[in-house]
């Protein structure tokens, strides 16, 4: 569905991303994991079309480019508009034939009905994040890019969000989400891409990562965490 080759990005001479390959297929959930400053946001921004890559290319398996939804880490929405107004506006901007109907549909899917007419700035973090995701869905995307979507959420908010993301995935949507949690990457992703200092260190399943570092045949959270640390430590040290 989406094939990126040799992606790189420099900011005033500083390497933010270097020679990264990535693939994403329909209905797949891929975790993008790495410490702070690893280049996760840069990679997602390039794939979302927000930032231009200095090097590399992105190709689509289908003839037409997929519609890409983007969920930035900090909610990108109008704080003084209500969720309903935000959704109507972005649905209109995305070219929806009936923006009002789409907004109502998204309010229902995001479970925002109770809060739909309150200013977004006065809603809880979890509710705002659901609105942030709903806005990303206003373009009816087939690929969803999420930048640390659960970073500021409480466990129950996180659970609720993943339930919704799981449903979207079942509908065939491809997910690429950034996280700093090995546990979340393991549990929510079919595969993981490990980035450190702008370079892709690993691409595969958590079991493969654990095996590659000789920790054991299984892949529980602790083993995956250890494998991850062994993977990134040399690169971080070098950086």
Contacts to another protein by CB under 8 A:
48-52, 70, 72, 74-81, 85, 89-90, 92-94, 135
Name the 3-class secondary structure at 28.
Answer: coil
Name which of 76 and 229 has its Cβ closer to another protein.
Answer: 76
Q: Are 209 and 224 in contact (CB under 8 A)?
A: yes
Name which of 88 and 191 has its Cβ closer to another protein.
Answer: 88
Cβ 127 to another protein shortest distance, Å: 16
Cβ 70 to another protein shortest distance, Å: 7
Name which of 144 and 223 has its Cβ closer to another protein.
Answer: 144
C-alpha pair distances (Å), 53 with each of 5, 148, 177: 11, 21, 19
DSSP 66: P
In 3D space, the residue among 215, 234, 218 whose CA is nearest the CA of residue 226 turns out to be 215
Determine the longest span between alpha carbons in the chain, in angstroms: 55
Cβ 216 to another protein shortest distance, Å: 42
CA 138 – CA 103 distance, rounded (Å): 8
Cβ 144 to another protein shortest distance, Å: 13
Name which of 112 and 185 has its Cβ closer to another protein.
Answer: 112
């Amino acid at each position: 569905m989406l094939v990126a080759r040799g992606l790189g990005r420099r900011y005033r001479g500083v390497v933010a991303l270097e020679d990264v390959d990535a693939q994403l297929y329909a209905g797949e959930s891929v975790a993008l994991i790495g410490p702070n400053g690893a280049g996760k946001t840069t990679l997602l921004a390039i794939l979302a079309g927000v930032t231009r890559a200095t090097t590399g290319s992105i190709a689509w398996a289908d003839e037409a480019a997929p519609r890409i939804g983007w969920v930035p880490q900090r909610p990108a929405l109008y704080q003084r508009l209500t969720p309903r107004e935000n959704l109507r506006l972005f649905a209109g901007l995305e070219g929806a034939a009936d923006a009002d109907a789409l907004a109502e549909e998204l309010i229902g899917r995001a479970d925002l009905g109770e809060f739909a007419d309150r200013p977004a700035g006065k809603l809880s973090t979890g509710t705002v994040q659901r609105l942030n995701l709903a806005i990303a869905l206003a373009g009816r995307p087939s690929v969803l890019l999420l930048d640390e979507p659960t970073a500021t959420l409480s466990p129950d908010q996180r659970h609720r969000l993943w339930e919704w993301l799981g449903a979207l995935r079942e509908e065939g949507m491809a997910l690429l989400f950034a996280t700093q949690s090995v546990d979340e990457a393991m549990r929510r992703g079919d595969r993981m891409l490990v980035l450190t200092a702008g370079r892709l260190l690993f691409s595969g399943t958590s079991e493969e990562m654990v095996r590659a570092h000789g920790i054991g045949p299984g892949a529980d959270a602790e083993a995956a965490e250890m494998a991850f640390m062994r993977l990134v430590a040399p690169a971080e040290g070098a950086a």
